[in-house]
Amino acid sequence: MRSAPSPIALLCASLTLAAGSALAAPAAPSASSPAPGAHANYEHATFAMGCFWSAQSAFEDRPGVISVTSGYTGGTKVNPTYEEVSTGTTGHFEAIEIVYDPAKTSFAKLLDVFWHNVDPTQGDGQFCDRAPEYRSIVFYHDDAQRDAAQRTMREMAPELKVKKPMVTQILPAGPFYAAEDYHQHFAKKNPGYYHEYREGCGRDARLMQLWGKLDAHAPVAE
């Protein structure tokens, strides 16, 4: 049974709905496809980090990152919509799929970004977004990614300023469905909405408690 949303969570939900209705009618999602210009040497990383607006913004414009797509994974329904995933009944998680060039960055570097942008001690969601679809998860695409995720999880534990168990899951990757167009690159296209959401959700304040610093790549309100 899902707990009653907090006032901040209701604010975040209202911002999401307002942004969606104000910007565009959502297009039907589709299974992910290779990024333009993708070739055989590019690799994929898939992470769930709570709200996919924040997850996408954490990785965009990083060296070696070719593309970052917000979407849904881990569930049973084909081509789920945002509204369906938000009910908590499809089994999907809000997630991002990253296409990256391993000659210019590494999965280990992407994992470092992942860990410093989540609360790995929170099992009921992420920050103010508390529901199963907002859990933090590393979805591995091969054994090497699985082993790297498990190793870095052990290595990151001593860095945590909050001494609680890390409950981030490490699961095999499955089908990934791109979210509706109005969710893509949301922080860049709608900085006002996004920064109101990020501040209201307490994301940066909690990250400071956890890690003692913020990711230098974190977006700053103008």
51 is known as an active-site residue: yes
Q: For residues 125 and 129, give the distance between their C-alpha atoms in angstroms, rounded to a whole number.
A: 6
Task: Name the helix (H) or strand (E) containing 73.
Answer: strand 65-73
Q: Which is catalytic among the residues 12, 51, 128, 201?
A: 51
Give the C-alpha separation, 58 to 68, whole Å: 10
The rounded distance, in Å, linking the Cα atoms of 35 and 15 is 29
Q: At what angle do helices 191-201 and 52-59 cross, to 10 degrees?
A: 110
Residues in the chain: 222
Q: Which residues are catalytic?
A: 51
